[in-house]
Amino acid sequence: MKILVVGSGGREHALCWAIRRSPLCSHLLAAPGNPGIGQLAELVPIAAEESDALVRFAQSQHVELVVIGPEAPLVAGLADRLAAVGIRAFGPSADAALLEGSKGFMKDMVAKCGIPSAAYGRFTEAEAAKDFIRAKGAPIVVKTDGLAAGKGVVVATSLDEALAAVDLMMAEKAFGAAGEEIVIEEFLEGEEASFFAIVDGQTALPLAAAQDHKRVGDGDQGPNTGGMGAYSPAPVVTEAVAQKIMDRCILPLVKGMAEQGRPYKGVLFAGVMIKDGEPKLLEYNVRFGDPECQVLMARLDSDIVELMLAACETQLAGHRIAWRPQPALVVVMAAKGYPGAYRKGSVIGGLGGAAAIEGVTIFHAGTKSGEDGRILANGGRVLGITAIGSDLAQAQSRAYRAVDRLDWPDGFCRRDIGWRALRG
């Protein structure tokens, strides 16, 4: 089977790595990919947002399955465009992807489905938003309604910070059109986790839980990022908690979306806050998380292509998903300055030595090839140093040993990935 993966980040490298292991995959393509993906797949110079070109290419190459990694092309309707010409796409339709494309829509769906979540308000006028904040008090959470690459969320600990967030989003337009409407939510206390399920429009099967590290600095200090590391499984998501998440956050949403004529197909990512064993929904994403995808693919012991095809064809019922018992952990190497301004083009050395450590796989994200074949940094989050071990401590040790073999003075990472699970 000829398969095309759309995207160029660490998530897409991990998906390609898993897909390449499937006996169902005879030819793997990636658009646009990156140098790491290029070791597994034929790279195609088409950006993930170029829907017309991607559809034409998939048709011309007789692609049988397209796996859409990032959220933007899903929200823009790439899966619909492919379905219209008879090509299977793993990922939700534009109608279903609105769960991530509009936080306001998502919160309204959650309310309709009776899913436990934070109280909220939706606003298109800054003064009304500020009045709501003053009435509710802090801490409080301010979010752009639209896509903001994982950065359009401010967890404000004071009224002044919350009011400034409204101005940042609505007056200063720091996130462009994404901030024309904002959502303000009550602050939920507890421990956050990422929970994933694969859905075929009717049936949902749990994948696994992971825990991300969103803040840039050790000890969860500093601004939010797209994710500085993750591990799986997440001890806070016990079997009992996982069942509650399925029963309260996943299955009601799948049923509600189908009843609205927006059947959801693809991977469903539920960000949840857990306190005293009780989960509440923070948000849905309509794709694998990055960097959570890296640790999920490292642990997955089932054929990912078989699962994706079953989701596309509404045939997930009866499938079982197998996992390696060993935990996995990923440390994100980022360019100095991230999530603010950073420099591109620095040379990354030592990749071979890092990858030679037992249990380690290096997933590329923001990289490009230099003219001399060297690997150059080309983004904010650049590498995902992923390790599997007999326990989480061993996975963490292996990942950081690999980090220390890299020769990249312009890069940095957090040194405490996995701290919540290892603190006890």
Sorting pLDDT into bands at 50, 70 and 90, what band is 224? confident
| Residue of 391, 387, 382 whose CA lies nearest to 413 | 382
Residues contacting residue 194 through CB under 8 Å, at least 6 positions apart: 209, 210, 211, 212, 230, 234, 269, 270, 271, 272, 289, 292
Say yes or no: 78 and 142 in one domain.
Answer: no
CATH number, domain with residue 376: 3.90.600.10
Per residue in 160-209, pLDDT (tens digit) is: 999 999 999 999 998 999 899 999 999 999 999 999 999 999 999 999 99
CATH no. for residue 147?
3.30.1490.20
In angstroms, the CA 215 to CA 289 distance is: 15
> Which amino acid would we find at residue 368?
K
Query: What gap in Å lies between CA 181 and CA 228, rounded to an integer?
Result: 28
Q: Of 281, 312, 343, which residue constitutes the final position of a domain? A: 312
Summarised one tens digit per residue, pLDDT across range 267-289 is 999 999 999 999 999 999 999 99
Mean pLDDT of the chain: 96
| CA–CA distance, 147 with 163 (Å, rounded to integer) | 21
User: Are 359 and 388 within 8 A, CB to CB?
Assistant: yes
pLDDT of residue 424: 60
Residues 359 and 296 in one domain: no
Which domain, by its residues, includes 66? 2-93
421: burial class by Cβ within 10 Å (0-12, 13-18, 19+)?
buried
pLDDT given at position 222:
92
**What was the pLDDT predicted at 147?**
86
Please indicate, yes or no, if residue 142 is contained in any of the structural domains.
yes
Same domain, 339 and 412: yes
Specify whether the CB–CB gap between 117 and 282 falls below 8 A. yes
Q: Are 106 and 118 in contact (CB under 8 A)?
A: no
Helical axes 103-113 vs 94-101, angle rounded to 10°: 100
- What's the pTM? 0.94
- 381 close to 332: Cβ distance less than 8 angstroms: yes
Percentage of the chain lying above the pLDDT 90 cut: 94
Q: Provide the CATH number for the domain around residue 64.
A: 3.40.50.20
Q: 359-394 burial, b if ≥16 CB within 10 A, otherwise e?
A: bbbbbbbbbeeeeeeebbbbbbbbbbbbbbbeebeb
Residue 161 lies in a domain: yes
C-alpha span between 76 and 136 (Å, rounded)? 35
341 and 302 together in one domain: no
**β-bridge partners, 122:** 183
CA distance 193 to 278: 12
Amino acid at 356: A
Residue where the block lists tokens 């990289």: 367
**Region 308-313 average pLDDT:** 98
Identify the CATH number of the domain in which residue 301 sits. Answer: 3.30.470.20
Looking at the structure, do residues 158 and 206 belong to the same domain, yes or no? no
Question: Is residue 129 in some structural domain?
Answer: yes
Domain boundary among the residues 171, 186, 201 is at 186
Q: Do 208 and 276 belong to one domain?
A: yes
256 and 292 inside one domain: yes
User: What is the model's pLDDT at position 289?
Assistant: 95
Q: Do residues 104 and 122 lie in contact, with contact meaning Cβ atoms separated by under 8 Å?
A: yes
Structure tokens at 194: 């990422």
* Structural domains counted in the chain: 4
Q: Which residue type, as a one-letter code, is found at position 372? A: D
Give dist(CA 18, CA 226) in Å, integer: 22
Token reading at 135: 């009435």
Q: Residue 165: what residue type? A: A
Q: Are 89 and 68 in contact (CB under 8 A)?
A: yes
Q: Are 380 and 223 in contact (CB under 8 A)?
A: no
Give the containing element (helix H, strand E) for 197: strand 191-200
pLDDT tens digit sequence for 378-396: 999 999 999 999 999 999 9
d(CA 16, CA 19) in angstroms, rounded, equals 5
Q: What is the distance between the alpha carbons of residues 323 and 388, in angstroms, rounded to a whole number? A: 12
Supply φ then ψ for residue 218, to 5 degrees: -55, 150
Q: Residue 206's beta-bridge partner residues?
A: 197
Query: Residue 318: how many CA atoms within 13 Å on its side-chain side?
Result: 4
Note whether 191 and 213 are within 8 A (CB): no
Composition of the chain by helix, strand, coil, percent to 5: 35, 30, 35
Reported confidence tier of residue 372, pLDDT bands at 50, 70, 90: confident
Which domain-ending residue is among 55, 77, 93?
A: 93
pLDDT given at position 243: 98
- Which residues, in sequence order, are bridge partners of residue 74? none
Rounded to whole angstroms, how far apart are CA atoms 329 and 413? Answer: 13
- Ranges 36-40, 225-229, 330-334: which has the least confidence: 225-229
Q: What is the pLDDT of residues 112-159, one digit of tens each?
A: 999 999 999 999 999 999 999 999 999 999 999 988 876 788 889 999
Q: Do the domain assignments include residue 43?
A: yes
Q: What percent of the chain has pLDDT over 70?
A: 100
Q: At what angle do helices 292-299 and 10-20 cross, to 10 degrees?
A: 10
Are 195 and 165 in a shared domain? no
289 secondary structure, DSSP code = -
Q: Give the whole-angstrom CA distance, residue 204 versus residue 227.
A: 26
Tens digit of each residue's pLDDT (9 = 90 or more) over 340-355: 999 999 999 999 999 9
Residue 133 lies in a domain: yes
Of 80, 34, 11, 42, which Cα lies nearest the Cα of 384?
11
